[in-house]
């Protein structure tokens, strides 16, 4: 039998006749506002809690998996950027070293040329001095 407002009102009137208005109101306040079939039991709440916990576990696993994937993708990107940076730095250092080697080679060549010229002047002076000493000149 479904409990309706009409049946609740009829029960209240009957309780008023038997118990009196105050006791009838107190008794009606202790009844659920709808039928007993609509009242949740501890078992119902436990079942809802289990379902909620399961759903939460699944959601957390999904979020954890997504975060792990994003972290892995981020690390892969970071590794790629680091490799690119390393390669760029190697290339830049190699280029700078080649330029320095070219400048040093040119400077050493200029120094060798100066040394050769100085040696020729020195030898010529020595020959002239030696010739004067032995009376050749």
Same domain, 61 and 33: no
The boundaries of the domain holding residue 35 are 1-39
Categorize the per-residue pLDDT at 78 as very low, low, confident or very high, splitting at 50, 70 and 90: very high
Query: The pTM is what?
Result: 0.45
Burial 50-89 (b: 16+ CB within 10 A, else e): eeeeeeeeeeeeeeeeeeeeeeeeeeeeeeeeeeeeeeee
Same domain, 29 and 44: no
Same domain, 44 and 54: yes
Same domain, 27 and 89: no
**How many Cα atoms occupy the beta-carbon half-sphere of 137 within 13 Å?**
11
- Residue 137 in this model has a pLDDT that exceeds 60: no
Same domain, 53 and 120: yes
**How many Cα atoms occupy the beta-carbon half-sphere of 20 within 13 Å?**
2
The SS3 call for residue 136 is coil
Same domain, 74 and 27: no
At 90, phi and psi to the nearest 5?
Answer: -60, -45
Same domain, 114 and 125: yes
- Residue 93 in this model has a pLDDT that exceeds 70: yes
Same domain, 72 and 44: yes
């Amino acid at each position: 039998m479904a409990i309706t407002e009409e049946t609740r009102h009829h029960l209240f009137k009957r309780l008023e006749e038997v118990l009196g208005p105050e006791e009838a109101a107190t008794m009606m306040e202790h009844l659920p506002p709808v039928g007993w079939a609509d009242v949740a039991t501890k078992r119902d709440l436990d079942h809802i809690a289990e379902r909620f916990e399961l759903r939460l576990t699944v959601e957390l696993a999904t979020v954890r998996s997504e975060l792990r994937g994003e972290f892995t993708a981020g690390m892969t990107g970071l590794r790629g950027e680091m490799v690119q940076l390393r390669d760029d730095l190697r290339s830049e250092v190699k280029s700078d070293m080649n330029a320095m080697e070219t400048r040093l080679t040119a400077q050493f060549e200029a120094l060798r040329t100066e040394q050769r010229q100085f040696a020729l002047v020195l030898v010529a002076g020595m020959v002239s001095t030696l010739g004067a000493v032995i009376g050749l000149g």
